[in-house]
Amino acid sequence: MPTQEKIAFVSGANRGIGLETARGLAKLGITVLLGSRDLKKGDAAAAALRSDGAKKVEPVQFDINNRDDHRRLAALLEKRFGRLDILVNNAGVNLEKVDWAGADGINTTAAVSEQDLRDTFETNFFATVALTQTLLPLIKRSPAGRIVNLSSILGSLALHADPSSPIYHAKVFAYDASKTALNAFTIHLAAQLRGTPIKVNSAHPGWVKTEMGGPEAPLEVSEGGKTSVQLATLPADGPTGGFFHLGDTLPW
């Protein structure tokens, strides 16, 4: 997919996987708007990217849970560019505190609070769906729109049901279920958009050393954005409605 004049928005882009995704896209010459709840942190992230050679980056104050921010972002994109080529739904939370170093045997299902369950779904699912619906008219104006939903291998029902799978004993219920729901959104939206140039896919970034992933994660932060960048820049004959990690298909 040609990257010249492409416009991307990445939510939760001032740190971690979102920042690395923005870095990867910007280094391809794509103009990237960095969504950040704290604009000062967004400014700092943009400055760091520019110093690394990623020149076409711009911070935008954006809280995924604030629907007014959704509308303001849509208005900004409409006024400045008239379209959106790439949407990376990266913002997410994990409110269940677990010891990943002892991941064997983690299961929060019986203890997770209703509030944590609701708050997790609000950010990881409901607000993400709402943002995508708000921006979809702008994405439809792109000659090759791409929507990337940041999921997790922990959202795979097939792997959670398989006692031999590597995630079978790591069940963080609110987070996992929210990513399963996000995967369902990917499948349904991709089906609705078949026959258009828009591609919708779910990305598993890997277990990455971020604030959420923790220090025990095997992947460095620099690796975390690679799958999102791949899916955001798929060619015209690339897949849609899939679940991927670095080009490999994951089971739903």
Angle value at C-alpha 149, between 145 and 151, nearest 5 degrees: 160
Separation CA 132–CA 146 (nearest Å): 11
Residue 246 region, left (φ>0) first, then alpha (ψ -120 to 50), else beta? left
User: Of 9, 125, 175, 207, which one is the catalytic site residue?
Assistant: 175
168 is catalytic: no
Q: What is the 3-state secondary structure (H, E, C) of 69-85?
A: HHHHHHHHHHHHCCCCC
How big is the chain by its Cα radius of gyration, in Å? 17
Token pair, residue 103, equals 């991941």
Return the C-alpha torsion angle 67, 68, 71, 73, nearest 10.
-100
Buried b or exposed e, range 121-144, using 16+ CB within 10 angstroms: bbbbbebbbebbeebbebbeebeb
Read off the amino acid at residue 160.
H
- Let me know: does 11 contact 88? Beta carbons within 8 Å: yes
Separation CA 25–CA 225 (nearest Å): 9
Catalytic positions are 175
